[in-house]
A and B are shown apart, each in its own frame.
Chain A
Amino acid sequence: MTLPTATESKDVILEVCNLSKYYPVNQSFFSGKKALLHAVDNVSFQVNRGEVLGLVGESGCGKTTTGRLIVRLATPTSGRILIENTDVADIKGQGMMEFRQKVQMIFQDPYESLDPRMTIFDIVAEPLNVNGIGTFEEREAQVEEMLNLVGLAPPSAFLFRFPHELSGGQRQRVAIARALVVRPSFVVADEPTSMLDVSIRTGIMKLMAQLREDLGISYLYITHDLAVARYLCDRIAVMYLGQIVELGDSEDIVKKPVHPYTKALISAVPVPDPAIERPIPNIKGGVSKPIDPKPRCRFYDRCPESESSCAEAKNPELRDIGGGHLVACHLL
């Protein structure tokens, strides 16, 4: 597969090459035949410094697995992940500590991602403690600064509370403060707003956009919400059954979707106007299982535009159709 080459002038912070993660599944108790679930299948993309790349797709398409692979919570079956030109798989010992400070993750569920037995101070200071950064006074100053930055002011009112005493939005702010306290250059945000109320969601999104401006962080923003992705992200990658089917500038993807799946996804976004009659998405059936998929286009079974040639053709690769807009479809 030819890699989509980034323009050389840009500083690439994350490069993912042909990344795959297969999980073995037992299809039947008696047959003993091992099948492979292709959670992430041959995914390649890049994130430039200071950029926000949105990873969009429906449940079970492998977005979260991709994020977990990048932060090394899981080991890839094959493929490479380069962060600032160092292969993540090769990192050991002292390098691991630097990696953990460079790359952080914000989790989906703020109710579960904070240890219920720790105070806010301990939670936010934990990355500093385990990495042995600074003296106690410096850590404390950093924690207070970070809490101020994420909008938990005054910090003294929050330092010695427990997570269960905070609201969902406040908890997610704590989780963000904890991720950013080591000043990472790259953050994987795994649906940080999906568990929150709509009213709080905007606040968190604004905060993340603001922090990106202030601290110069690059994000991989994983979400199933195209509106969120459009608001926050410079570029959007659309995933379907473990593969990227379309990748391009946010506005391009939202306004001029090319891949049939992206089109269906965009037509499904609700419009806050009852007068507008929305087109019914014309895709067929449900999501097929990513267990030992056939070597043809993953979207073939549901594609409204599929032609007979698609059935025989191999899985389409991402092709540039101009302006850095990549699409994986035979019909272009």
Chain B
Amino acid sequence: MNELVPTHETGSASLAEPLWKIRWKLIRRGIAQNWEIFKESRIGMLGIILIIAFGIFGAMWPIMINTVWDPMVYDPVVGFDPMTMHPSPPSATHLFGTDPIGRDILAQLMYSTGREFLLGVLSAVITVVIGTAVGTAAAYYGGFIDTFFMRIADIILLFPFIPLLVVIGSMVRLSFLPFAVIMGVLGGFGGITIILKAQALSVSVRPYIDAARIAGGSDFHIIVSHIIPNVLPLSFLYMMFSVTSAILSEATLSFFGVLNIDMSWGMMIHTADVAGYLFDFAKYWWLWAPAGLAITLFCAAFYMVGRGLDEVVNPRLRKR
């Protein structure tokens, strides 16, 4: 704390350090304090460890394919191992076995990890940016804007979008990026808007908003420098939950085979399914278990981080 205080004498009009340096220190201190609270949540730490593990797993893909693995055999999409019958159970050459058309399961799993990260984070960021902006505007301006966006949120919340996307997907075959954007936008105008609007509403009636208005702040100034900073912790929390929902939707739609994605965890199960191996799922467990477990753990990891962040954002949940 004390190292932040500039050491000059009273009344002189110069700070000991440039302002950005002080601000940077304040931000670092804030993060450090929040990290202390976060660390106390066991579930949150477990989530962080899982995410780091997935990160390392995904980062190993380019290393493995460029050094150890032969791209002809181990390519997740077009690879084929002519040495065995397919699908082959786990062995020394294929640690997690191969799929019905001779591709290595472990390679597929690794290759997909990075893309799941990209999909989840991209769609979560879109969700949160839209949700925060729309929720804040609806809370601050009220009236028509509020009614309009809240009705849209109700529709999105109540409408069964997975079946709809199955139908749309079978017509247009969404590829990876458009799908991430659609999930992000749907999420952004959906339930998260209502939650963030509620938070923005409670912020916008605080006396410091009146104080900012009396200081001469415009609506834009009040929204950007007072309401949004006070809503942002909650936005960040819901970003974690959005990752989970985006990944789950992707897995579901990939399983139905309506996405134009070459490889993903959902695709892996889809491949096993269309080849008919899921009828004897206990015998051919390596076709679906690794991918299913990956989806479950990945979603759980972000959910658990969200639960940990919840304790940082809502002081009432803290143990002490």
Residues of A within 8 A of B (CB): 71, 73, 96-97, 100-101, 103-105, 107-109, 112-117, 119, 126-127, 130-131, 136-137, 140-141, 144-145, 148, 153-157, 159-160, 175, 178-179, 182
| A119-B26, A141-B13 known; A113-B218 Cβ under 8 A | no
A-B contact pairs, 21 of them (CB 8 A): A73-B214, A97-B216, A100-B216, A101-B216, A103-B214, A104-B214, A105-B210, A105-B214, A107-B210, A108-B207, A126-B217, A130-B217, A130-B218, A140-B13, A141-B13, A145-B11, A154-B10, A157-B5, A160-B26, A175-B211, A182-B216
Interface string of B218-246 (1 = CB under 8 A from A): 10010000100110000000000000000
Which of A115, A130, A155 has the largest count of B CB atoms less than 10 A from its CB? Answer: A115
Q: Chain B: which residue is nearest A115 at the CB level?
A: B208
Q: Chain B: which residue is nearest A154 at the CB level?
A: B10
* A109 contact set on B, CB distance < 8 A: 207
- Verify if B320 is at the interface (C-beta below 8 Å from A): no
The reply to whether B13 and A155 contact each other, CB–CB distance below 8 Å, is no
Complex formed: what's the CA distance from A86 to B192 in Å?
46
How far does the Cβ of A159 sit from chain B's closest Cβ, in whole Å? 7
Interface residues on B, range: 20 to 34
The reply to whether B216 and A160 contact each other, CB–CB distance below 8 Å, is no
Complex formed: what's the CA distance from A284 to B215 in Å?
43
* B6 contact set on A, CB distance < 8 A: 156, 159
Residues of B within 8 A of A (CB): 4-11, 13-16, 19, 22, 26, 206-208, 210-218, 221, 226, 229-230
* A155 contact set on B, CB distance < 8 A: 10-11
| A137-B13, A157-B5 known; A131-B229 Cβ under 8 A | no
The reply to whether B215 and A160 contact each other, CB–CB distance below 8 Å, is no
How far does the Cβ of A116 sit from chain B's closest Cβ, in whole Å? 7
* A137 contact set on B, CB distance < 8 A: 13-14
The reply to whether A107 and B10 contact each other, CB–CB distance below 8 Å, is no
How far does the Cβ of B6 sit from chain A's closest Cβ, in whole Å? 5
* B226 contact set on A, CB distance < 8 A: 115
The reply to whether B207 and A113 contact each other, CB–CB distance below 8 Å, is yes
Q: Chain A: which residue is nearest B209 at the CB level?
A: A115
* B10 contact set on A, CB distance < 8 A: 144, 148, 153-156
